[in-house]
Structure 1
Amino acid sequence: VTPKLDKKFTYPLKMFSNNDEAVINKKLPKELLLRIFSFLDVVTLCRCAQVSRSWNVLALDGSNWQRIDLFDFQRDIEGRVVENISKRCGGFLRKLSLRGCLGVGDSALRTFAQNCRNIELLSLNGCTKITDSTCNSLSKFCPKLKHLDLASCTSITNLSLKALSEGCPLLEQLNISWCDQVTKDGIQALVRCCPGLKGLFLKGCTQLEDEALQHIGAHCPELVSLNLQTCSQITDEGLITICRGCHREALQHIGAHCPELVSLNLQTCSQITDEGLITICRGCHRLQSLCVSGCANITDAILNALGQNCPRLSLSHCELITDDGIRQLGSGPCAHDRLEVIELDNCPLITDASLEHLKTCHSLDRIELYDCQQITRAGIKRLRTHLPNIKVHAYFAPVTPPPSVGGSRQRFCRCCILL
């Protein structure tokens, strides 16, 4: 990760090249220079390291490498680079992002774990060579780890979660989205020894069932964010268990169940019904974002409860939602001053009447109406007279003209329109 100097950097640095006796080095103490260097990014530090011997020492001092994000260099990062960084930084390194670094594998990360035992945040998102061996290394050498991102590391299994639970008890955020080999047994092992979990991202963990949520509800009292997108085997029973289990005594039981939950994504959890969501709404009074896109059993019954407090809603593909449900939503106390985003894509029963019900929602910033075939341009125009700054995303299929005299028919494609 040592880029060559560009021409535009050569001239101002030339006066210091191979000259450790330069004025700046004489006038400023090394402690102050080191402090200045601490504000530089990775690329600039590498360039400074090429100026002179003394600057090389200062620029590559481990204290300047406490936070490293190598995403911009992901195509060039190989295992040896990670090993060299870990040897240089040692115990100074607190945060490292290797997101998208496909060339990094278990061997390099074992060396990293051995050298960087104070690491607190580590992103391995998309590092597809990673296996359970890496989590074993982290468990053995990195007890201070708090945030770990393993999204799309598809070789990760329950063994990784068991290892993390044994060696990383301070975990607060864990992302294992698309690690589809993980089952309830892995979740059980994890949450029993990591009671401080605040964020758990399980998108695409298709083997998870309600029993996994029972373990989370029983052992994660601090939980704030939970993503269950595409966990199609989760039902109302699992959600209700989460609500009953994730409460905080210190808040004197504010709300019945999960007063701190602010974001919940249940996209494509097709077995979820109104009953489960109403339980969520009654307990989670700080809920800021709810996605139930693709939950085909959701009806108007839930919208009155959602109108009480949640400003960002995704109801796409909820095909039972009608104008009456939007009326209930729009008349809720939250809707007038707090409703910011509502997504209604592919809700076939929605008509222009729904837009009339939303026109008093003064904070509404964006509405999604793709494939709502009963919504018209005229209805959107009327909404805009009340909410002139609103972003409306919709598309309309142009009317197919009658056959021409020759019997041929001109074909038209659907056009996508940002209104």
Structure 2
Amino acid sequence: MHAFLSPQMFSNNDEAVINKKLPKELLLRIFSFLDVVTLCRCAQVSRSWNVLALDGSNWQRIDLFDFQRDIEGRVVENISKRCGGFLRKLSLRGCLGVGDSALRTFAQNCRNIELLSLNGCTKITDSTCYSLSKFCPKLKHLDLASCTSITNLSLKALSEGCPLLEQLNISWCDQVTKDGIQALVRCCPGLKGLFLKGCTQLEDEALQHIGAHCPELVALNLQTCSQITDDGLITICRGCHRLQSLCVSGCANITDAILNALGQNCPRLRILEMARCSQLTDVGFTSLANRCNNITDGTLIQLSIHCPRLQVLSLSHCELITDDGIRQLGSGPCAHDRLEVIELDNCPLITDASLEHLKTCHSLDRIELYDCQQITRAGIKRLRTHLPNIKVHAYFAPVTPPPSVGGSRQRFCRCCILL
């Protein structure tokens, strides 16, 4: 913005050259692309620019986190009065000085708000959620993480006044229980993201309500919700078939049963975080991998980091994994000392490069490569020079012979080769 500003372009009056050359509509359009800091600077250039820069249409999206976190409530009130119905997205993340009174004024003035982040606004109480419920029916995304005064009353209020809610973050709001979750999900069926990290009072019954009423759920974070067990999570799996991201790190009570349930019911699963879940074994991960054919290299990276004792890994029909994922796996701690079996049949993106990455897996006893069309005999031969005792199960289509004298071709049976 500063590159094209020069002293000659402005004066103390409103007859600056740029104001004569460009219509106000065009200037207003240019201002719509500027961030908060630049808009405030432009507002100081002249009276005309002050009016244009502070026009409510330029303030549809505001993020004060990188601008000024020590703001007081009156600043939020002034912003709401300036923006009014134009404002759609507001982030007050980390604004510790903002409380219920300012947010009530905000809710009254900005009734078209769709995304609101109050993450870390520790003065917020249930009163703010009552205001949002009363005045902001279009609210879709709400972040209340670390607002530790929030209780079940907030969730009940939101369920009554914000039926369009799609994403809610109440991480570390440890006063929330199953009653609040029940009220929320019964009236907000469109929930797609629910972040409950650190909500330590939640039990399986809360998850049962989610599984019964949130068929659109895509992302769920239950990190350190230490009271939940397989029973609650299995209900989630059976009711939330669109689930793509699940975090249950620190939930020490879960077992392989949840991995089996995810494999059977959640074919879209892409991200699974299960750190510090000490009861999980190879059996569960094998069951999961056999059914989740949409997993990518990202899963292999996490397995290589967090599963140093992995012995058997089945990636059959995982059509999205590539050589890079196998490279990450082959460089992990499990590959050097533990990994004994890896099944890669029907993985069309795997090439001989993957076999090169597995040469250092000294414990590897068996590898399945059926219908891996980019694997060659030469690649397998090179692997066996490093792992002479490995059993390699692979299939190679026979070469079609030239036409016979009679014009017909011989028919060859498909063959499986144990090398």
TM-score range, shorter chain: 0.5 to 0.7
Matched, 1:140 2:134: yes
- Which region of structure 1 is more displaced relative to structure 2, 200-209 or 383-392? 383-392
Quote how far apart the aligned CAs of 1:52 are.
0.5
Quote how far apart the aligned CAs of 1:192 are.
2.2
TM-score (ref. length: structure 2) = 0.57
8 Å Cα contact 1:180/1:204 also seen in 2: yes
- CA offsets, 1:119-151, max 9 Å, x none? 111110100001111111111111111111111
TM alignment of 1:196-211, pairs within 5 A: 196-210=190-204
Q: 1:405–1:128: structure 2 CA closer, same or farther, 3 Å change rule?
A: farther
- CA offsets, 1:277-313, max 9 Å, x none? 6787788776544444344455667767878999999
Task: Give the aligned length.
Answer: 372
Mind listing any 5+ residue stretches in structure 2 that lack a counterpart?
266-306
Quote how far apart the aligned CAs of 1:48 are.
0.5
TM alignment of 1:150-189, pairs within 5 A: 150-189=144-183
- CA offsets, 1:132-185, max 9 Å, x none? 111111111111111111111111111111211221111111111111111222
Quote how far apart the aligned CAs of 1:363 are.
21
Quote how far apart the aligned CAs of 1:368 are.
25
Quote how far apart the aligned CAs of 1:381 are.
21
- Which region of structure 1 is more displaced relative to structure 2, 46-55 or 23-32? 23-32
In structure 2, how many angstroms separate the alpha carbons of the residues matched to 1:341 and 1:326?
13
8 Å Cα contact 1:308/1:332 also seen in 2: no
- Which region of structure 1 is more displaced relative to structure 2, 316-325 or 288-297? 316-325
- CA offsets, 1:227-260, max 9 Å, x none? xxxxxxxxxxxxxxxxxxxxxx999999999986
Q: 1:323–1:162: structure 2 CA closer, same or farther, 3 Å change rule?
A: same
In structure 1, the residue corresponding to 2:220 is in which secondary structure?
A: strand
In structure 1, how many angstroms separate the alpha carbons of the residues matched to 2:47 and 2:129?
38
In structure 2, how many angstroms separate the alpha carbons of the residues matched to 1:296 and 1:404?
67
- CA offsets, 1:204-223, max 9 Å, x none? 1122222xxxxxxxxxxxxx
| Alignment match of 1:283 (pick from 239, 262, 277) | 239
In structure 2, the residue corresponding to 1:250 is in which secondary structure?
A: helix
- Which region of structure 1 is more displaced relative to structure 2, 136-145 or 365-374? 365-374
- Which region of structure 1 is more displaced relative to structure 2, 341-350 or 357-366? 341-350
Q: 1:205–1:356: structure 2 CA closer, same or farther, 3 Å change rule?
A: farther
In structure 1, how many angstroms separate the alpha carbons of the residues matched to 2:350 and 2:42?
60
Q: 1:206–1:36: structure 2 CA closer, same or farther, 3 Å change rule?
A: same
| Alignment match of 1:293 (pick from 239, 244, 249) | 249
In structure 1, the residue corresponding to 2:77 is in which secondary structure?
A: helix
Which one has a bigger Cα radius of gyration? 2
Q: 1:146–1:288: structure 2 CA closer, same or farther, 3 Å change rule?
A: closer
- CA offsets, 1:30-59, max 9 Å, x none? 111100110011111001001100000000
Q: 1:161–1:364: structure 2 CA closer, same or farther, 3 Å change rule?
A: farther
Mind listing any 5+ residue stretches in structure 1 that lack a counterpart?
1-8, 211-248
Q: 1:305–1:112: structure 2 CA closer, same or farther, 3 Å change rule?
A: closer
8 Å Cα contact 2:191/2:217 also seen in 1: no
In structure 2, how many angstroms separate the alpha carbons of the residues matched to 1:69 and 1:390?
57
8 Å Cα contact 2:185/2:209 also seen in 1: no
8 Å Cα contact 1:96/1:123 also seen in 2: yes
- Which region of structure 1 is more displaced relative to structure 2, 165-174 or 91-100? 165-174
Quote how far apart the aligned CAs of 1:332 are.
18
- CA offsets, 1:338-377, max 9 Å, x none? 9999999999999999999988999999999999999999
8 Å Cα contact 1:260/1:286 also seen in 2: yes
In structure 2, the residue corresponding to 1:73 is in which secondary structure?
A: coil
In structure 1, how many angstroms separate the alpha carbons of the residues matched to 2:45 and 2:390?
52
Quote how far apart the aligned CAs of 1:195 are.
1.9
2:188 match: 194
- Which region of structure 1 is more displaced relative to structure 2, 176-185 or 84-93? 176-185
8 Å Cα contact 1:294/1:318 also seen in 2: no
- Which region of structure 1 is more displaced relative to structure 2, 59-68 or 165-174? 165-174
Q: 1:122–1:290: structure 2 CA closer, same or farther, 3 Å change rule?
A: closer
In structure 1, the residue corresponding to 2:40 is in which secondary structure?
A: helix
Among the aligned pairs, what percent are the same residue?
A: 98
8 Å Cα contact 2:181/2:209 also seen in 1: no
- Which region of structure 1 is more displaced relative to structure 2, 356-365 or 198-207? 356-365
Q: 1:115–1:286: structure 2 CA closer, same or farther, 3 Å change rule?
A: closer
* RMSD (Å), alpha carbons: 16.5
8 Å Cα contact 1:123/1:149 also seen in 2: yes
- Which region of structure 1 is more displaced relative to structure 2, 375-384 or 46-55? 375-384
